[in-house]
Chains A and B, each alone.
Chain A
Amino acid sequence: MRKILLLGLMLFLVNAVAFAQGRVVTGTVTSVEDGMGVPGATVLVKGTTIGTATDIDGKYSINVPAGSNVLVFTFVGLTSQEVNIGNRSTINVALESDITALSEVIVTGYGTQPKREVTGAVSSVKGDAIQNLPLQSFDRALQGRASGVQVRSSNGLPGGAVNIRIRGVGSINAGNEPLFIVDGVQLNNQSNASFTQSNPLAFLNPNDIESMEILKDAASAAIYGSQAANGVVIITTKKGKQGKAKFEFNAFSGETQPMKFLDVLGGSEWYAMRRDALVNTANTAPEANALNAMGRLPSNWATLTRPQLDALGLALPTYDWQREVMGAGRLNNYEMSVSGGDEKTTFFLSGSYNYQEASFRPVDFERGTVRIALTHQATKRLSIETNMNLSTFQQNVPFAVEGSFLGNPAFSASAVLPHNAIYNEDGTFNTAIAGVLGQNVVLVNSYNSGIQRTNTAVGNLITNYKIANNLTFRSLFGLDYRLLQGDNYRDPRTPDGAGVIGRSSVQSDWRTRFITTQTLNWNKTFNGVHNVSAIAGVEYLSETREGISGAGIGFPTFQFRTIQSAATPESVSGFWTGYRRASVFSSANYDYKKKYLVTVTARYDGSSRFGTENRYGLFPSIRLGWSMVEEEFLKNSSTISEMKFRASYGLTGNDQIGNFDARGLYGGGGNYSGSAGIVPSSLANLGLSWETNNTLNLGLDYGFFENRITGSIDAFDRRTKDLLLSQPILWTNGFGGISNNVGELQNRGLEFELSTVNVDKGGFRWNSSFNITKLDNQIVSLYSGLQFLPANPGIAVGQPVGRSGEGAIFAAEYAGVNPATGRPMWLDINGNITYLPLAADRKYYGSSLGTVFGGLNNTFTYKGFEFTTFFTYEYGGIGSDGQYGFLRENGTRLALNALREVNDRSWKTPGQITDIPRNVTTNGGNETRGAGRNSGTAALLKYDFIRLSQLTLAYSFKPSLVNRIGLTRARIYAQGVNLWTYTDYPGYDPEFTGAGTGQVPLTKSYTLGVQIGF
């Protein structure tokens, strides 16, 4: 942060250079941390406005007027020092790092603000906190770092999707993603990769991030208007700072490991399970039928006795398919940066290479980035600035991102019957796989191929013109360009490719987002006590997205893998879509002696996405603050160092719907007999408008004992009105639904953040930071007095919604197993036992959205050593896990493997109290006239966990030591990610989104790294 402020501070100070006569004091300001000069530090004569800034080497020279005897040295991020001049003419000071972030500056909407003056609910995560974590996208790194921010990885695909929710779920059918802004460019973070998940935010090397600010309350975000309903995440990248060129080299390397292998049955155990299931079903030849189900019935079976057949079954071998397809993956990261500058120009250049393999080969992620940040002071008034982020990443794609596909290793590895050998004795693939998963996924995996490539350019060009000392004009032009390309090949030697003799699918999808923001910044102080500042601006954004895709089938041999070799084009498709938004906005701050603070903002947005009758919207907000610590009675308190009450109310909008949802359209589709068709695709809704999100926020920032204890408490009531709901339409009327503004959703919550310096003695320091959020989400109303949505009764008044806006769990309650018979039982709506629950027996059981979550960080430093532990946790989410659901069937419906622990619990003898029914083979594995064993709440799981997300041990060599070999800095570190998870979850991992079937689970990783500065 200090680099950003630098420029502004210097500009102010240049004008303030003293005219008075007096003595000249010179010296050097250095940093205790690295012993280097601090360029741009402020040197002020106490009690005056006379000051200067240090030069590139940290040197300064100042005229001290007669009568003044104290100099104040300040620099953002370092502790200020006051020094008595006495009769010295040279004063050198070494500033310590500011451990309590007293003077932190926060990036807010279209500007910056000292943290002390912030009156909204804004969380800040510094780039240092997430440095060197082997995560491909910064959104994943936000997990547990800030209160109110709930982050879940969708799966373990490197560069895969991340589900981020700020203060709950505010929408059912429109998007729930926050607005991401990188260097003033509002990003499109929608992923449209066809063959894997390509998180658009993975374009940025997280180590290039200086800080991330999360605007949580509507009042803070309201200046972003119709796109800010889900909060705003502002990313500021690293910039150069004045001084001689600093080179930084950073490298880490390590490996990823599966966090867990599912404990599934072995070959003979599966045989025994099936045999006993057949016995339960009164089958007269259970041994033979069990062997038959496993494809191991000998041709002479009729001549064998039952014990002989049993012996065959119990001698079946076991092959570990999970360990064959899941394993360690490599992980490498190299980066180099150069930064520096002179009084006029600063620069920051960086390049990076990142490679990571998933636990499932050949899935991986490979990225190269280049970044340039330049600033130049052209004249005293005019400065220009540019930031360019270029990146390309390429991923080897999985068979499928999720799903119960036979060829999907993430599904099949744990579910394939374990007696199937992976390889024949001669080392070739075994292709005679018994059971429903009749494909050798190891073969499938090694024969298929596909890549997904994402090229991104995000950049801006900024001009600042200082019209007057207190009035600045800023003009930003930004671009977010992304090209997605992919191809995927189903090899004709695999079962899925055999029928069509190979299939090649290709995709190209490119989008261009252009944004320009023109702002005026003004500030003035009246009578020394009334501080006023204001921002006014206009903004225009346009986005277009285009794509083509196609598939061809029929390949001469498997060596021909690109689409031009296909005999038959199977499909050809393309699309075009786009939208535009134009806005004016303004904000004004007023404070009285920094004691009473008021901010009002307003934005007026027009968007092409909405109905012609409702195209424009106004988004106002107000924030109030009382900085009690500035009051006389607290000014000299030694206990209370910070105490500020905040209240805010604001309106934001959600425009995350389709670009043409308001239009009544006929689209292409419904081709028949070789000629083209058109089909009515949507109904017109001329009144369609944004969801409005009204948030009331009450907050308190506190600090005690010179801010050794700091933190904040916030309470919010976030109400989303005029939900962009897909209102069901009777199918008899020809459509499924229409986007309409109906209904209301509420998220209430409490957020608590605490940072402490527990010990700071004798060079040993122990810092902690902790945050927790309690969330309460419910639907307040629907439309026409409906208590639930006809098409989706999980969406019901008084019930929460899930993390993707899906409905609450609505299911019949599972009542365990009848101890006498082993039949699974449910409760009907009257609480009576039933074997066949009906729709009317369903009740509500919460949703997939966790209600309590947060993080705990502890850092210990001692003489260059640094030890960090970081825990994240989540509690209160409930739902199903598709993979677990399949395995929980104990192979009764389909010939799939089973979890040992679940099968051990299955009912075996009368009187046994358990929750897993007896295994049977009739009726798809269920009792005749009985519901499926996973019906109702039977297979629901709690998604709760506590995770040791990060463990870091680092050592920084003494600057004096490494100086001798020409280095300014050297640091080595070892890091572990996701090393330990506390949960009783029976599936791979409770952290995922989606159905959970056949998804690549999250991994743990170990890395070693080195950072060198010279």
Chain B
Amino acid sequence: MKLINKAFLSLALTGSLLVSSCDSLLQVDPRQSIDADGALTTPDAMNAALNSVYSKLRSARLYGRDLFAVSDALADVGQTTSNSGRLIGENNNQPGAHFGTWQTAYFAINEANLILDGLSKVEGASAAQLARWEGEAKFLRGLYYFDLVKVYSYIPTAIYEPGVIGQGGVPVVTEGVISSGVALSRQPARATINEVYAQIYRDLEDAKRLLGAGRGVQYGSGPAASALLSRVALYRGDYPKVVTESGLALASSVGTVLSGAAYVNGWRAPVNPESMFEVRFALAEESIGVNESLQSTYTALLNLTNKNSQGGWGDFIPNASVRALFGLSALQIGTPATDNNNWDVNRNADVRAQLFTTGNTVRGAGRQIENTKFMSKSGFAYADNVPVIRKSEMHLNRAEANYHLNNQSAALTELNAFKALRGLPAVTLSGNALLEEILLERLKEFIGEGQRFFDLKRYGRAIVKTTPAVNLAFDDFKILPPIPQREVDGNPNIKQNRGY
């Protein structure tokens, strides 16, 4: 019996030990994460949280690729090579082959909202820090909302309405979600397009007020907010504001408008001096890689020093009309012809023609004329800092706004000054021809930078291209992408875009 007692005792002891101390026994805390409650209560945490909001701009769905390359593929400036099969559907304007910025943008907006919600709870923060966090978070939120609404909705200057009821803008959420209760129950409806633009204005005005010259072009700044406001106002048809904000941006110390060879060299520098705000790719691990980076999308070259080195896919190249604008045609400059280094292109006087050259024969489509704006300038393969707003745009925005404000002479003067920067002779135009020339200048300036599609969209124009043969009327539903079906299925308040 003694033994039985002992055994039972030991068992009971072990058992009671386990049971009584169970709660503490079962407490295991993660070591590489912190509890969301109270995560954003220190200045360091706020800085780190803000970094994450910036970093989402690097996504291939945003400035990593799509906002530039998908945009151009949808527009009328290029054609695909089928080298990797990418962007073919977009270039054909097939249903569903479109932007998909929704998820990343809203995740970033939530993070920005959490930062803004947490401002009052940070311990030991200076007033300057608080202003910077609020300003940068609002700058980013404004940018994300602008990139959402310009994609998923019509642009205020050209809204297609027949048969469309209450489709509207995108949902505007300005409170952060960190608890499951709200996450499962909040079902925001689409705000009107005007409400979204008003929200963007508010955020960017706050950013302008709170931020000074900023801490580098990879971060939001007052002038960058002005520059962005200039574009937002242009989309909104708020032309006086375009003039004001462009002026503020141009007068600022952020960014430089370059001309001639300096402009071309600007594209060869890690940080383009023209940038007023750019998305930074700082580390090798941030590279989008060989499949989806901008460099890989636009050129099969690995670098410009040896054209024979196998680089990316070169999936999307300028089409004939763009080649004609710059006088581009292939030119053999040495022998043998099989050596890709023995090839370049003929160019016209436009300095931007310097940004094109022949690629290589490594990929299936063979040697093509390619855009070389993105050539691993960050110092490692397939990574370039992406200029979101270049200072030159301010001239084009202001010229266009002045045209609409019936200041045609100011518009023409600014256009000709800009043309001179690009090595082009002055023109004498007026009326619609002047507007067309301004838009053509935009097209040439922003090849590969994703502006053309939205220029067509804000003027309600059809997308017409010969290769591939597409004539996409403005009333076609494929001008807008589908809102992700899961968001429509899971939210009765969201109305899907027409046609999907």
Give the residues from 441 to 488 in chain B that come closer than 8 angstroms, CB to CB, to chain A. Answer: 468-469, 484-488
B3 neighbours in A (Cβ, 8 Å): 381, 465, 467
Contacts A499-B381, A520-B11, A685-B180 given; indicate if A731 touches B103 (C-beta within 8 A): yes
Give the residues from 1 to 57 in chain B that come closer than 8 angstroms, CB to CB, to chain A. Answer: 3-4, 7-8, 10-11, 14-15, 18-19, 22-23, 25-28, 30-37, 39-40, 45, 47-56
Q: Mark A782-801, 1 if CB is under 8 A from B, else 0.
A: 00000010111100000000
Interface membership of B188, Cβ < 8 A? yes
Complex A-B: 18 CB contacts under 8 Å: A293-B364, A299-B337, A438-B364, A498-B309, A606-B22, A664-B37, A667-B33, A670-B48, A671-B55, A677-B51, A677-B54, A678-B49, A684-B37, A732-B491, A734-B114, A734-B176, A790-B490, A793-B485
Interface membership of A911, Cβ < 8 A? no
Interface membership of A317, Cβ < 8 A? no
Q: Mark B74-106, 1 if CB is under 8 A from A, else 0.
A: 000000001111001100101100000011001
Residue of B nearest to A788 (CB): B489
Interface centre among B47, B51, B58, B103 (most CB of A within 10 A): B51
A85 neighbours in B (Cβ, 8 Å): none
Contacts A576-B31, A584-B19, A733-B110 given; indicate if A499 touches B52 (C-beta within 8 A): no
Residue of B nearest to A500 (CB): B381
Stretch at the interface among B161-169, B233-241, B279-287, B427-435: B279-287
Contacts A671-B55, A791-B486 given; indicate if A660 touches B180 (C-beta within 8 A): no
Interface membership of B127, Cβ < 8 A? no
Interface membership of B251, Cβ < 8 A? no
Contacts A570-B285, A680-B111 given; indicate if A675 touches B7 (C-beta within 8 A): no
Interface membership of A674, Cβ < 8 A? yes
Does B188 lie within 8 Å of A732, measured CB to CB?
A: yes
Residue of B nearest to A839 (CB): B485
Within 8 Å by CB of A518, from B14, B35, B109, B280, lies B14
Within 8 Å by CB of B28, from A499, A608, A668, lies A608
A838 and B455 CA atoms in complex are apart in Å by 29
Interface membership of B302, Cβ < 8 A? yes
Interface membership of B316, Cβ < 8 A? no
A836 and B97 CA atoms in complex are apart in Å by 13
B359 neighbours in A (Cβ, 8 Å): none
Interface membership of A19, Cβ < 8 A? no
Interface membership of A116, Cβ < 8 A? no
Within 8 Å by CB of B173, from A665, A676, A732, A923, lies A732
Within 8 Å by CB of B22, from A570, A582, A664, A893, lies A582
A434 and B361 CA atoms in complex are apart in Å by 9
Q: Mark A666-702, 1 if CB is under 8 A from B, else 0.
A: 1111111111111111111100000000000000000
Stretch at the interface among A122-130, A346-354, A643-651, A722-730: A722-730
Shortest CB distance B228–A (Å) = 18
Contacts A520-B11, A732-B487, A790-B486 given; indicate if A669 touches B52 (C-beta within 8 A): yes
A671 and B103 CA atoms in complex are apart in Å by 19
Interface membership of B380, Cβ < 8 A? yes
Does A677 lie within 8 Å of B26, measured CB to CB?
A: no
Does A579 lie within 8 Å of B39, measured CB to CB?
A: no
Residue of B nearest to A578 (CB): B28
Shortest CB distance B71–A (Å) = 19
Interface membership of B184, Cβ < 8 A? yes
Contacts A538-B15, A672-B55 given; indicate if A434 touches B364 (C-beta within 8 A): yes
Interface membership of B290, Cβ < 8 A? yes
Does A499 lie within 8 Å of B280, measured CB to CB?
A: no
Contacts A292-B366, A678-B45, A683-B180 given; indicate if A436 touches B92 (C-beta within 8 A): no
A584 neighbours in B (Cβ, 8 Å): 15, 18-19
Q: Mark A915-929, 1 if CB is under 8 A from B, else 0.
A: 000000011100011
User: Number of A interface residues, CB 8 Å?
Assistant: 97
Q: Mark B161-198, 1 if CB is under 8 A from A, else 0.
A: 00000000001010011111011101110000000000
User: Number of B interface residues, CB 8 Å?
Assistant: 103
Shortest CB distance A771–B (Å) = 40
Does A467 lie within 8 Å of B7, measured CB to CB?
A: yes
Does B28 lie within 8 Å of A580, measured CB to CB?
A: yes
Q: Mark A802-825, 1 if CB is under 8 A from B, else 0.
A: 000000000000000000000000
Shortest CB distance A503–B (Å) = 10
Does B26 lie within 8 Å of A582, measured CB to CB?
A: yes
Contacts A538-B11, A673-B280, A836-B95 given; indicate if A664 touches B484 (C-beta within 8 A): no
Residue of A nearest to B38 (CB): A666
Does A670 lie within 8 Å of B51, measured CB to CB?
A: yes
A122 and B437 CA atoms in complex are apart in Å by 81
In addition to A738-B184, A790-B486, A924-B85, 7 A-B residue pairs with Cβ atoms within 8 Å of each other are A295-B366, A582-B19, A584-B15, A616-B22, A666-B45, A679-B49, A680-B178
A891 and B213 CA atoms in complex are apart in Å by 54
A734 neighbours in B (Cβ, 8 Å): 106-107, 109-111, 113-114, 176-177, 183
A674 and B215 CA atoms in complex are apart in Å by 14
Does A683 lie within 8 Å of B183, measured CB to CB?
A: yes
B65 neighbours in A (Cβ, 8 Å): none
Does A678 lie within 8 Å of B48, measured CB to CB?
A: yes
Shortest CB distance B176–A (Å) = 7
Contacts A667-B32, A923-B92 given; indicate if A893 touches B364 (C-beta within 8 A): no
Shortest CB distance B53–A (Å) = 8
B111 neighbours in A (Cβ, 8 Å): 679-680, 734
Q: Mark B306-333, 1 if CB is under 8 A from A, else 0.
A: 0001110000000000000000000000
A683 and B110 CA atoms in complex are apart in Å by 13
Interface centre among A467, A538, A670, A682 (most CB of B within 10 A): A670
Contacts A538-B15, A672-B282 given; indicate if A924 touches B89 (C-beta within 8 A): yes
Top 6 A-B pairs ranked by shortest CB distance? A734-B110, A670-B52, A790-B489, A677-B51, A790-B490, A664-B36
Interface membership of A659, Cβ < 8 A? yes
Does A663 lie within 8 Å of B30, measured CB to CB?
A: yes
Does B186 lie within 8 Å of A580, measured CB to CB?
A: no
Q: Mark A484-516, 1 if CB is under 8 A from B, else 0.
A: 000000000001101110000000000000000
Does A684 lie within 8 Å of B4, measured CB to CB?
A: no
Shortest CB distance A219–B (Å) = 24
Residue of B nearest to A466 (CB): B3
Interface membership of B146, Cβ < 8 A? no
Residue of B nearest to A687 (CB): B180
Within 8 Å by CB of A538, from B18, B33, B337, B500, lies B18
Shortest CB distance B6–A (Å) = 8
Does A732 lie within 8 Å of B468, measured CB to CB?
A: no
B488 neighbours in A (Cβ, 8 Å): 790
Shortest CB distance B311–A (Å) = 7
Does B7 lie within 8 Å of A520, measured CB to CB?
A: yes
Shortest CB distance A548–B (Å) = 12
Does B33 lie within 8 Å of A666, measured CB to CB?
A: yes
A928 and B469 CA atoms in complex are apart in Å by 9
A670 and B26 CA atoms in complex are apart in Å by 31
A672 and B285 CA atoms in complex are apart in Å by 11
A111 and B89 CA atoms in complex are apart in Å by 62
Shortest CB distance A345–B (Å) = 23
Give the residues from 526 to 578 in chain A that come closer than 8 angstroms, CB to CB, to chain B. Answer: 536, 538, 540, 551, 553, 568, 570-571, 574-578
Contacts A584-B15, A665-B33 given; indicate if A732 touches B83 (C-beta within 8 A): no
B500 neighbours in A (Cβ, 8 Å): 839
Interface membership of B382, Cβ < 8 A? yes
Interface membership of A468, Cβ < 8 A? yes
B283 neighbours in A (Cβ, 8 Å): 671, 674
A731 and B486 CA atoms in complex are apart in Å by 9
Interface membership of B362, Cβ < 8 A? yes
Interface membership of A65, Cβ < 8 A? no
Contacts A584-B15, A734-B111 given; indicate if A672 touches B366 (C-beta within 8 A): no
Interface membership of B363, Cβ < 8 A? yes
Interface membership of A1013, Cβ < 8 A? no
A788 neighbours in B (Cβ, 8 Å): 489
A553 neighbours in B (Cβ, 8 Å): 284, 380
Shortest CB distance A732–B (Å) = 5
